Amino acid sequence: MTIDARACAALVLSQVTSDGRSLSEALPAAVQAITDARQRALVQELSYGTLRWYYRLDAMLQRLLKKPLKQRDADVRCVLLLGLYQLDQLAMPQRVAVNETVQATHALNKQWASGLVNAVLRNYQRQSAQCQEAVAVEPVARFAHPAWLIERLQSDWPDDWETVLTANNARPPFSLRINRQCMTRAEYLEKLTELSLEARPLAHVDTGIRLDRPVPVDILPGFADGYISVQDGAAQLAAGLLDLQPGQRVLDACAAPGGKTAHILESEPALAELTAVDVEARRLLRISENLSRLSLSANLVQGDAAATADWWDGQSYDRILLDVPCSATGVIRRHPDIKLLRRAEDIAGLVRLQMQLLQAMWPLLSSGGMLLYCTCSVLADENSDQIGRFLEAQKDAAELPIAAGWGHECLHGRQILPGENEMDGFYFACITRTA
């Protein structure tokens, strides 16, 4: 079946912008029936790119439309946005972009809108310079981020907020973690060179490799056999920070989809036990699929980590990894839909949940043991301030300094900002339980 890629992308976009669905849910379902790999890639490019630049494109569209479209025509509005995305951001022949985008209205059974789409896009072509200049003076359009997030970044990172916003709009690197139980990083880099896949080691993590271009995982040597996993460099820091030793009991409290669970097991195969908990059954399944590809195993528990009475066997843990649910403001370059889906008012609820999880985990940690708290957020409220509040209230908790050549030292813990050292935005704090 031939499916119009632009119409398909418009439907994905309208699910995100109007129905609040995430891109990682909407996109795979939409491209399932597309057999042509190039068409699938085009739907992905248009969906990600339009969301990445949504606030800029929306400001342009408001200038170009005489009156707003009705809610029932959200798909037509998305056709217009992705049309503008192609003209504003992609190096593609403009005539093709306009004609194909107009065609998408037919595929959507909205023939009435073809004249409108044609007129708006041609109008943009005629006045692109004025349009670009006009939106450059509005911060929301200029940085392509919602106002609340720009303001929070300005307040939390007065010297770096602009760099963070720019990094959030860049395309993310494609990074791998090699399984050192199978081979060394140098050996794997050689294998990639043999296949003419340009790659180099990542700094700060001895398991990390960055490829110059993203590729489908099944063409990567040894993927099915568990030689490598796709994982950002920042996420690869967690296993090292845990200072794992043979015989330890380890808890991974918010574990799905299991990227860090697997890395822990690869790093220290002689652990006494690794328990991985996640509240979502569907996501827990992802851990078991990932571990099975890597021939690893853990004690998997579906449950609320904070409801410890439901699943804890009463024996303390030497190490607890608490990779809490968070605003994900450090990984916007990978998930640009976060800019639309996350609201300012969500943050207080997340901060409460994170504190609840911290407090619930604390009695499970052995004396002298270590809890590693981490988030993929760049907001102080979820990170340094959160740990400050916890340490203030928990008198038998002491922070362990993180001596590292990456990231920024905060009042508590350490923060990597998006794009620094080719990594995602991530926060880490190590806390020990004193006698």
Q: What is the CB neighbour count within 10 angstroms for residue 81? A: 23
Residue 78 annotated as catalytic: no
- Binding status of residue 378 toward ligand SAM by CB under 6 A: no
Backbone angles phi, psi at 214, to 5 degrees: -65, 145
**Do 398 and 431 contact (CB within 8 A), yes or no?**
yes
Residue nearest to ligand SAM (CB): 254
Is the CB of 279 or the CB of 400 nearer to ligand SAM? 279
**For residues 181, 185, 191 and 196, what is the CA-based torsion angle, rounded to 10 degrees?**
150
- Binding status of residue 391 toward ligand SAM by CB under 6 A: no
- Contacts of residues 48-51 at CB distance under 8 Å and 24 or more positions apart, as own/partner, are 48/23, 48/336, 49/82, 49/85, 49/89, 49/90, 50/9, 50/13, 50/78, 50/81, 50/82, 50/85, 51/13, 51/16, 51/23, 51/336, 51/337, 51/339, 51/340
- Binding status of residue 280 toward ligand SAM by CB under 6 A: yes
Where in 318-347 is the site for ligand SAM (CB under 6 A)? Answer: 323, 325
Q: Which of 254, 326, 374, 376 is catalytic?
A: 376
Backbone angles phi, psi at 225, to 5 degrees: -90, 5
User: What is the secondary structure of 317-356 as a DSSP string?
Assistant: EEEEEEE-----TT-TTT-TTHHHH--TTHHHHHHHHHHH
- Binding status of residue 260 toward ligand SAM by CB under 6 A: yes
Window of 298-306, 343-351, 362-370, 416-424 that interacts with ligand SAM by CB under 6 A: 298-306
Among 244, 265, 277, 387, the residue binding ligand SAM under the rule CB under 6 A is 277
What's the closest the beta carbon of residue 408 comes to ligand SAM, in angstroms? Answer: 21
Total number of residues that touch ligand SAM (CB under 6 A): 18
- Binding status of residue 351 toward ligand SAM by CB under 6 A: no
Give me the 230-249 binding string for ligand SAM, x by CB under 6 A, dash otherwise: -----x--------------
Distance between first and last Cα of the chain: 67
- Binding status of residue 256 toward ligand SAM by CB under 6 A: yes
Is the CB of 49 or the CB of 173 nearer to ligand SAM? 173
Window of 78-86, 163-171, 265-273, 300-308 that interacts with ligand SAM by CB under 6 A: 300-308
What's the closest the beta carbon of residue 241 comes to ligand SAM, in angstroms? Answer: 13
**Do 415 and 384 contact (CB within 8 A), yes or no?**
yes
Residues that bind ligand SAM (CB under 6 A): 235, 254-260, 277-280, 283, 304-306, 323, 325
Catalytic residue set: 376
